[in-house]
Amino acid sequence: MKKTLLLLVTISCFYSHAQFWTPKATGFSQVNRGVDDISIVDDNVIWAKAYDGASNTPQNVRQFTKSTDGGNTWTSGAINLGTNQNTLNISSIVGISSTTAWATAHPTSTVNGGVWKTVDGGTTWTKQTTALFNTTDSFTNFAYFWDENNGVAQGDPANNYFEIYTTSNGGTTWTRVPSANIPTPLSGEYGYVHNYDVVGDTMWFGTNKGRFFKSINKGLNWTVVQSPITDFAGTTMSGSYSFSDANKGLLYASTGILYKTTNGGTTWTAQTYTGNVGNRNIEYIPGTSTIVSVGTTPNSTTSYTAYSTDDGLTWTETMSGTQVTTLKFKDGNLGFGGGFTISSTSGGIYKYNSTALGTDVFSKIDNLIAYPNPASNLLNIKGGNLSEISVFDMTGKQVMYQKLNGTDVFSLDVSSLTAGMYLLHAINDNGLKSSLKFSKL
């Protein structure tokens, strides 16, 4: 079966401590090792999978990176699929804790793909053999888990219906969803790797025929509708989509048309908007009217990030020149964008670091103080075990950033700032966050 993969091509970019994104090192030693799938477990634990962003003919990559401190530091590792499996390519990753995650791999002409699980933080991976994916048509696109037990694995049609499995025991036993529960595929129809969205128990995935498959019960039963586009990741037509809740969603087509739905994707209408939308990926902050996009405008080669706080009606562009591959947000405080490694100690992933998407709700650093306030030259910041400090102006633009090493008291030189009010954000080694306002004379 001919299969078009959802691949990204790297272009030159720069890394900056400017507003919105702060670059972090994923730990991969290979230059231009990209990140194209991110799984946020909680405020501390994040998993991501790698791909080859350095070659026009991408090589198979079986690597992951993981953070246990909210995305500030990352440790990379290999997804070892076992004997005779190392010709496979990883199609998705999903974590449920710092120790437990699942990765899917799609097949070669001689080796079957499937689902692999780690319970030791990624040191070893074990194939879950009851998710068969063992026919000549089998192609594993992704797996997703709602908790440590309940999950779904989705693949292309095999034996004339989509190969979808569900589990209620962490993948010890996978059961194929019967054909009666899934609409019949069109001729030549297939899905794409890690191309899906989830809100609560509801899941959507798109196909090369521009159709949305939808389940409202964790993958046990499915319906299908035609979207406004003809292909979700083709060479002549593609589109990125995201849902804020079970009803509200946006779909941005490669033609530059933005569509909205208010009934869970059953119907879509074109939406007039102002500003530029990135054509690579869009991602709602769950449960809000705020959405982020990355990419370029049609016929443009300049990458940027853009965001909207009114369900896509107006867009604000930021971080021009910085290429971000994919997006994932837990809420208005914690989010990440895929990047490319510069070295093992520089680059690879971006962490959201702004107030642009709304008011932060912090787990407080109870003893955080800043003095003198107002300040002319030096602002002394005391909080205990501080790991990061950021300063934002009242428009939400990040104007200063400083990484620390568990510092108790730090003197920040604010002499270059213009007079006015600013917001100081601080993070300590335990992942606690707090903010306070200060005035610059």
DSSP codes joined into one string, 367-398: T-EEESSSBSSEEEEEEEEEEEEEEEETTS-E
* Planar angle of CA 95, 100, 106, nearest 5 degrees: 60
Q: Find out whether 401 and 410 touch, Cβ atoms under 8 Å.
A: no
The residue type at 267: T
Asked if residues 404 and 336 have their Cβ atoms less than 8 Å apart, the reply is: no
Q: Which residues contact 339 (CB under 8 A, 6 or more apart)?
A: 13, 15, 23, 26, 34, 35, 323, 324, 325, 347, 348, 349, 350
CB atoms within 10 A of CB 5: 14
Please name the residue that has the structure tokens 């591959």: 325
Closest by Cα among 198, 195, 192 to 215: 198
Two tokens, residue 217 = 């019960």
pLDDT in tens, 337-386: 999 999 999 999 999 998 888 643 334 666 788 888 888 899 989 887 88
Give the pLDDT confidence score for residue 395 in this predicted structure.
56
Q: How far apart are CA 249 and CA 289, in angstroms?
A: 10
**N residues, the chain:** 441
Which is it for strands 346-353 and 369-371: parallel, antiparallel or unpaired?
Answer: unpaired
Per CATH, the homologous superfamily of domain 20-353 is YVTN repeat-like/Quinoprotein amine dehydrogenase (2.130.10.10)
Nearest to 339 by CA among 120, 126, 21, 41: 21
pLDDT in tens, the chain (441 residues): 334 443 333 333 333 334 799 999 999 999 999 999 999 999 999 999 999 998 777 888 999 999 999 999 999 999 999 877 778 999 999 999 999 999 999 998 889 999 999 999 999 999 999 999 999 899 999 999 999 999 999 999 999 999 999 999 999 999 999 999 999 999 999 999 999 999 999 999 999 999 999 999 999 999 999 999 999 999 999 999 999 989 999 999 999 999 999 999 999 999 999 999 999 999 999 888 999 999 998 778 899 999 999 999 999 999 989 999 999 999 888 999 999 999 999 999 999 998 888 643 334 666 788 888 888 899 989 887 888 888 877 655 678 888 888 878 889 999 999 888 888 888 887 767 777 888 888
Residue 165 forms beta bridges with which residues? 153, 176
| Dist. CA 240–CA 250, nearest whole Å | 8
- Domain coordinates in residue numbering, the chain: 20-353, 369-440
Choose the CATH number for 369-440 among 2.60.40.3080, 3.40.50.2020, 2.60.120.10, 2.30.110.10. 2.60.40.3080
CA–CA separation, 117 vs 173, rounded Å? Answer: 12
pTM to 2 decimals? 0.79
Contact between 100 and 127 (Cβ < 8 Å): no
Q: What single string gives the DSSP state of each residue in 155-166?
A: EEEETTEEEEEE
Strand partners of residue 63: 78
**Distance separating alpha carbons of residues 370 and 424, to the nearest angstrom:** 9
Structure token pair of residue 437: 């306002």
Can you tell me the distance from the alpha carbon of 286 to that of 358, in angstroms, rounded to the nearest whole number?
Answer: 13
d(CA 233, CA 211): 12
